[in-house]
Amino acid sequence: MNTDIYKEGPVVHNAAFIDGHSVEIPILKILQQDGTVYQGAELPKINEEHAVKIYKALAFHRALDERMIGAQRQGRISFYMAALGEEAASIGGAAGLEAQDMIMAQYREQGALIYRGFSLENFMNQMFSNEKDLGKGRQMPIHYGSNELNYMTISSPLGTQIPQAAGYAYGQKLQGKDAVTLCYFGEGAASEGDFHAGLNMAAVHNAPVIFFCRNNGYAISTPSDEQYVGNGIASRGVGYGMKTIRIDGNDILAVLKAVQLARAYAIEESKPVMIEAMSYRLGAHSTSDDPSGYRTKEEEEKWHAHDPLSRMKSWMLAQNWWDEAQETALFEQLREDILAAVKVAEKIAKPPVEDLVSDVYDQVPEHLQKQLTSLKAHIKKYPEAYPLTAGRIK
């Protein structure tokens, strides 16, 4: 037996429970809401070019979310999930990585793709499930993926990416790659069994993975105080023996600094890191949700004052790296471009029916071929029910 795993503390002779529930975990804050830096705060590695790229990604994200919520309400797309108020978490995370690092997201991290250069056309093609969609129309809207940009395709079942990230990062380690895997998830996903399996695997096998929890206070309609009793999600990283940090998730400089440090540690030590970013979901969980049923307008207004975009904008104005004319021009152009892209993507034909059974097998199995033949016959019999597809059946 390896007795090294039993790390003895002080010896006692009277029985008493250990209670670490009240242990305070510090939170990293660098940038104040007015754009000034806290006294003594250490800035991340960032220059003007990097800052402008980050801010433009934040603006793109905000404009895209606002436009696509409107598109869903108009019936142009079926579903959408915005990240209003949380944009700094995904974009700051991606900005602290290198291009070769893998990103495994949940479903509110389109900002990481924006930062990495996913085109507006690719966003639209995916949401409209047309024939130019990289996923061939097989996924719900906002379930993106990009092999080119090292962004693993999003899966709807909650938490599946967490053990996958542990395994992928372990593979990066075995191959000797100068790369890590960053895994995003919400505090709600941390209630899934996959969370514990993934963290334990990464800790035991020393996988270079950064577990990035976006704690926005709600798992759909369930507030965090009804999800768990412990000290957030950061305490669980400590429990699994990981280097852990809690940050202000609306402070883009704190996010960037934490990820830069986490990546350096994961590469040098080949070990996992836990980051808990404290934020708030200003919008609904999705376009299928009405948050007025479980939280107050007063609560939402309180968090509007912590907007990550205005915070970074104020800081950049103070650095003379940005001005109001650039601000106005950027948002006007983004809204114009996004609306134009919507009008183009919604007119592109849907993928051919054959794409349903391609890409998995070298030869389509007989049982799938029979199902495809049956589906084609059904569509031809009821063309009025499938107006966008019936005319393309071979």
How many angstroms separate the CA atoms of 70 and 76, rounded?
9
What Å distances lie between residue 203 and 210, 244, 284, 293, 358, CA to CA? 11, 12, 34, 39, 37
Count the Cβ atoms, other than its own, within 10 Å of residue 169. 31
76 is catalytic: no
Radius of gyration, alpha carbons of the chain: 23
281 is catalytic: yes
How many angstroms separate the CA atoms of 117 and 41, rounded?
30
3-state secondary structure of 203: helix
Q: Which residue has the tokens 């836990």?
A: 274
**Which residue in 115, 281, 311, 386 is the catalytic one?**
281
Query: From start to end of the chain, where are the E strands?
Result: 27-28, 102-104, 151-152, 181-186, 209-215, 218-219, 222-223, 243-248, 273-278
**Which residue in 50, 73, 138, 294 is the catalytic one?**
294
| Nearest in space to 90 (alpha carbons), one of 255, 276, 229 | 255
- Which residues, 6 or more positions from 214, have their beta carbon under 8 angstroms from its beta carbon? 86, 89, 90, 106, 108, 109, 184, 185, 186, 187, 249, 277, 279
How many angstroms separate the CA atoms of 311 and 336, rounded?
25
Amino acid at 260: Q
Count the Cβ atoms, other than its own, within 10 Å of residue 67. 17
How many angstroms separate the CA atoms of 7 and 154, rounded?
39
**Which residue in 61, 108, 236, 285 is the catalytic one?**
285
Neighbour order of strands in the sheet with 243-248: 27-28, 243-248, 273-278, 209-215, 181-186, 102-104, 151-152
- Which residues, 6 or more positions from 259, have their beta carbon under 8 angstroms from its beta carbon? 92, 93, 95, 96, 97, 182, 210, 212, 275
Q: Check: CB of residue 312 under 8 Å from CB of residue 58.
A: yes
Active-site residues, by number, are 281, 285, 294
